Amino acid sequence: MKFDIIVIGGGHAGIEAACAAAGMGCAVGLVTMDKKAMGRMSCNPAIGGTAKGHLVREIDALGGKMGLIADRTGIQFRMLNRSKGPAVWSPRCQSDRELYSVEALRIVESVPGITIIDDSAVDIISENNEVRGVITGNLGEIMCSALILSSGTFLNGLMHTGLNSVKGGRFGENASTGITETLLKLGFEAGRLKTGTPPRLKKDTINWDILEEQKGDENPQPFSHFTNAGDFPYLPQMSCYITHTSGKVHKVLEKGFGESPLFTGRIKGTGPRYCPSIEDKVVRFSEKNQHQLFLEPEGLNSDLIYLNGFSTSLPVEIQAEALKMIKGLEEVEMVRPGYAVEYDFFPPHQVDLTLETKLVKGLYFSGQINGTSGYEEAAAQGLIAGINAAAKIKGMPELVLKRSEAYTGVLIDDLVTKSTEEPYRMFTSRAEYRLLLRQDNSDRRLLKYGYEYGLIDKTSFEILEEKNRKVLEGIEFLNKHRIEMKAANVFLEAKGLDLVYNAETTAKLVKRPSVGLRELLSITTNNNQQVNDLISDINVLEQIEIELKYEGYIKRQQELIEKLEKFENSAIPLATDYKSLKSLSTEGREKLSKVKPRSIGQASRISGVTPSDISVLLVYLKT
């Protein structure tokens, strides 16, 4: 049996990798231990959130599947950070956990060229530092030209609850063994990371009446650009609820610290800094008397509630006792205790910006194997790995997104250039050009790449080109279109804003706080077809308004990108022998040899590489 590409793992990274590669015309074998667990949400049954929602929108614009699956299975949609600027608006949805896996499997099975193999990979076949195939537990040897490892938390996975430890990568599922050992023999460096999950609660044993309700948006926005807004949302919508821990809860939790695998040293792996377990929160933030918790439904027909914010690996009896001290949970029944998972990962300086490993040609890493945390980060990597593996086989150009183009570019550049020793999570603060990388303009930024690699159809691309034309023409029109002084002042006075003394352009007036473009256009006395067309096209109008309101900031970011572009375009040969460049600092030689940056721009972001080292490299490139 032989495939162009084999993908190991049916999680969020594996789904995107397989679908992208097959969509580009490759024969793909997707190896997963249980196809019914395709895309299973091991932790929180939700997609998106701060910065993560940006990634989902980008995945969709590139032709990925996560946004479509989320739209089909979401039971609550919210746009986070609406009170702040549009750079940090982030879509999020609560998903039906079971339906998400069902829909993920349906989509994967609908893509021509994918063969799902219910098996477990135990070894990698390589020759002369080039991948040749895998060995599975049941089928034995399966050959391929490229291999994408998307193994999640399953590599030598170990689950901890109190003093009890069980091998496994997820509740009720076996760990994957053999792959780590093979990679170590090939010369890769490995480490251990840890993640966790909260207890699941029985819905009918919660006192909902005394809890704070959190509803979804009244007019929710889909993740996917290809979801029919008229049919959306597809499922009935549900509320989440908010409660808090207390000093009494913390006292109960402290009783279990002596048997906590986190504090006794049983867990060797590093946990996520920005999503700590509840026992870690109690210790690290001892001055806080309470921590916010979210009660989130696992599905429309599920009796399980996910207690977001209460991730723990404390003994079962301590978890049960502490839960009953929380407001609304006085009579709660714990269906399944929380647990921590420890697993192998491979520090990501060992992959290139294409996510191909530097040691073995044709071998790609994506997802938690690279040290990331989260479904969205994994899916974004899987998509890029799938595109690049297929592009290499097809003889097409590789896809490397710049930091100025996408959050996906920021994610991969951070991983490769800075590496990580703890689970990496995406935040808007990591993107220096975040005003340009908004969730609302992901299609305008990236759909062209999806079309170029055959993952976006021609009709969708032509619709995007038409949208771009309307936005540019709309901005040009509103920079000339004037509103008469009398009409403008009636409008401004009602809002308590300073008046104008002449007719003023719409573009200038909309820059004022609390002034919306739609309401501004509705007062114009110059009633014409172009104004009416703008008002009727919500998507175009939103883009124009943001571009006009933040014109100065956007221009400064674009100027900075142009200024630094020469460094990003100054390519460094991958075969450069940094050890021979004696003028480099000792740390600089070591770090540059480790990362093997593609450009001066990337080299400048490596910790330990000094401005003096960059000057040496610039001189070296000239000579």
**In order along the chain (623 residues), what is the average pLDDT of each group of 10 residues?**
96 98 98 94 93 98 98 98 92 97 98 96 95 95 97 90 88 86 96 94 98 96 94 96 97 93 83 85 92 97 96 96 97 96 95 97 97 96 98 97 97 96 93 95 96 97 94 93 90 91 93 91 73 84 93 94 92 92 93 94 94 94 86
**Is 52 inside any structural domain?**
no
Geometric angle at alpha carbon 471, from 470 and 472, rounded to 5° = 95
Output the pLDDT for position 276: 87
Q: Which of 167, 151, 149 is nearest to 159 (CA)?
A: 167
* Tokens describing residue 140: 């034995």
The HSE-up count of residue 439 (CA atoms within 13 Å, CB side) is 28
Last residue of a domain, one of 318, 340, 362: 340
- Give the separation between CA 365 and CA 348, rounded to whole angstroms: 9
C-alpha to C-alpha distance for 35 and 117, rounded to whole angstroms: 8
Same domain for 593 and 542? Answer: no
Residue 379 resides in a domain: no
- Confidence at residue 281, expressed as pLDDT on a 0 to 100 scale: 93
Q: 609 near 588, Cβ under 8 Å?
A: yes
Number of domains in the chain: 3
**Distance between CA atoms of 302 and 207, rounded to whole angstroms?**
17
The CATH number for 524's domain is 1.10.10.1800
Do both 518 and 590 map to the same domain? Answer: no
Could you tell me if 486 and 584 lie in one domain? no
Query: For position 258, which CATH number holds?
Result: 2.40.30.260
End of a domain among 303, 324, 340? 340
**What sign has the CA pseudo-torsion 340, 345, 347, 352?**
negative
Question: How far is residue 575's CA from residue 41's CA, in Å, rounded to a whole number?
Answer: 41
Q: What is the pLDDT of residue 175?
A: 84
- What integer pLDDT is reported at residue 59 of this predicted model? 98
Domain identity same for 334 and 213: yes
Q: Which is it for the CA torsion 68, 70, 73, 75, positive or negative?
A: negative
- Coil, strand or helix at 499: coil
DSSP 4-62: EEEEE--SHHHHHHHHHHHHTT--EEEEES-GGGTT--SS-SEEE-TTHHHHHHHHHHT
Burial 49-70 (b: 16+ CB within 10 A, else e): bbbbbbbbbbbbbbbbbbbbbb
User: Residue 424 and residue 428: Cα distance in Å, rounded?
Assistant: 13
152: left (phi over 0), alpha (psi -120 to 50) or beta: left
Q: Is residue 296 part of a domain?
A: yes
Is residue 519 domain-shared with residue 479, that is, in the same domain? yes
Q: Are residue 519 and residue 614 in the same domain, yes or no?
A: no
Residue 608 is part of a domain; what is its CATH number?
1.10.150.570
Please give the backbone phi and psi of residue 508, each rounded to the nearest 5 degrees, phi first: -75, -40
Say what the pLDDT of residue 536 is: 82
575 and 550 co-located in one domain = no
The token pair at 63 is: 């032709």
Cα gap 604→40, rounded to integer Å: 39
Output the pLDDT for position 274: 77
583 within a domain of the structure (yes/no): yes
The encoded tokens of residue 412 equal: 């991969």
DSSP secondary structure code for residue 265 in this structure: S
Q: Which domain holds residue 605?
A: 570-622
Statement to judge: residues 335 and 462 lie in one domain: no
Please report the pLDDT score of residue 359 as a whole number: 96
Q: Is residue 597 part of a domain?
A: yes
Residue 214, CA atoms < 13 Å, CB-side half-sphere: 18
Beta bridge partners of residue 31, listed in sequence order: 8, 117
Same domain, 471 and 588: no
H/E element holding 593?
Answer: helix 586-595
Same-domain status, 542 and 574: no
Token pair listed for 12: 């969020």
Instruction: Give domain status of residue 442, yes or no.
Output: no
| Alpha helices, DSSP H, located in 479-550 | 485-494, 506-509, 517-522, 529-536, 538-549
Choose among 190, 191, 186: nearest CA to 359.
186
Give the span between the Cα atoms of 42 and 10, in whole angstroms.
12
Decide if 40 is inside a domain.
no
Residue 204 shares a structural domain with residue 301: yes
Strand locations in 96-198 (E): 114-118, 121-127, 130-136, 140-149, 158-161, 164-167, 191-197
In a domain, 8, yes or no: no
DSSP 189-230: --EEEEEEEPPEEEGGGS-GGGSEEE---SS---S-TTS-GG
If asked whether residues 502 and 589 sit together in one domain, one would say no
| Domain end point (choices 554, 578, 611) | 554
